[in-house]
Structure 1
Amino acid sequence: MAERLTLTQQHLYTYKVCPRRFYLRFLARVPWPEAPLGAEQELAYERGRRFHRWVERHLLGLPAVEAESIDPVLNDWWATFRARGPQLPAGQRFVETALTVPIGRHFLTGRFDLLIVGARAWLFDWKTGEPRPVERLRAAWQTRVYLAVLAQGGAALSPDDAAAFAPKRLSFTYWYVAEPTQPRVIPYNAAAHRRNWLELELLVADIDRQLALPPAEAWPLTDDWSECRHCAYRALCGRQAADAGALAADPADAADEDEPPDDDWLEPQWG
């Protein structure tokens, strides 16, 4: 039987940018040829990792690790969160929780920084990077995938509160350490979910069609050569003529600048 894939926001973003890059990175598992991160970006990712870890432990009622950190930026972030973090509603808390739902023959998954379930279901995500406008966040793959997954399968996390996962009772809050008093709150509703889920289904169905094609016919290159300029796979695709410049991080990694590059590949599953 053909493989069944577990897809994340990163995989969908990459496929939309370039099906060939999706194939090379997540199916053929060709390593990203050069370490794409400079020292400054590596430091930003490491701080983001540590900050998320501290918040996770705090929400679980545990002491924050490395509380005596000598990193002044990280210490400032932590002080900001403790003093001006978002107001959290009452309800059952799910910290760093993953949820996976079927979509076509495949699966779609999201991992939530914090989910609170009561009369409603509230998603929270901590951001240490540059704040983004709510309009951009509403269209982001992270927003779309997380809300869709929660609406489709959230009741499995808390069966007694199934009504809380109706789309009209879902919201996604992005909290930025740089603007702690201005959380970006994105509501959801049934009409938005129908549109969102249909688009996700169509995209996954297109990936499925590519999987069924002979290799020579599948995974076309992007028509947008500007996407090739910083792509480390361009030599494999005959796109060396693209304006090269210095290699940057894969834009799929930059889709969420606060998170480290996702080193996990697609997880094929066979039924």
Structure 2
Amino acid sequence: MGHTVECLTTIWISKGCLSEGTKAPVKLDHAEKEVLDLLNVNEVLDNFELVQMEADGGDKDRGLECYGIVYPENCDSYHGPHSIDCLIAIWEEVGCEHNGYRFPNNLTIPDCESMKNSNLTAIRDNMEGVKSAADDGNDDHQLNCYGLVFPENCDSYDGPHSVECFTTIWKSKGCLTEGTKAPVKLVKNETEALDLLNVDEIFITFETIRMHADGGNKDKGLECYGVVYPENCDSYHGPHSIECLLTIWEEVDCKVEGYRYPGNLTIADADALTTLNLT
């Protein structure tokens, strides 16, 4: 007559395996069930115990059979204790960043030890809960998962992002809407390229433009500030040289004889002018 599925399930669970396991009794095909029916209860106990022991010994195939989970990289058991590298692998699989406040290496020792001794399902559920709450707009969990609060008008970390999101980041990095690469002026393929980046990468991209602009790169100055640097001027914000001021004075078509000609200014007035932006 053999064993009922309910009988086999009781033994399976008593040995620590889960109903999610791919070899849980309710998931066996007819041939696999017939093989178990040839065994007595003690032999079934031994059979299931062997599956569980091999799963806990690091056998990934047995882990899938017993617990229904593929062990992440650097993880060699379901129940633990797990290595810090195992926790980091799960964190990365979930999609959180190393900058996140709850990144395993950033945890307190008690929190880290607690997580190391949790089972893989509980660890993943915890981390996925953090990410899900972050993506749903929870500021605290955005810090926990990504290490930043999403900028205004940005609804996700990985995108796609709106032009308003790009603009918020663009302005936060000190570039102007007059810049030739301001988000509202981008063509479709440029916007699509930015959409492939996460928020941190967009911050870095825009900051790099501004840094090059402030480092004297005239092309980047035009992209960031929408200004062609006059001759002898090598930044938007300054401080500017007296030669830079003289160039602008000449460009606006004032004369050397003018009372406000940069060479005629008091030191205090000239210093004040050199610290203004070009606009």
Q: TM-score range by the shorter chain?
A: under 0.3
Q: Higher strand share goes to which structure?
A: 1
Instruction: Give the number of the structure with larger relative contact order, counting CA–CA contacts within 8 Å between residues 6 or more apart.
Output: 1
TM-score by length of 1: 0.20
TM-score (normalised: structure 2): 0.20
Computing the radius of gyration over CA atoms, which structure comes out larger, 1 or 2? 2
- More helix by percentage: 2
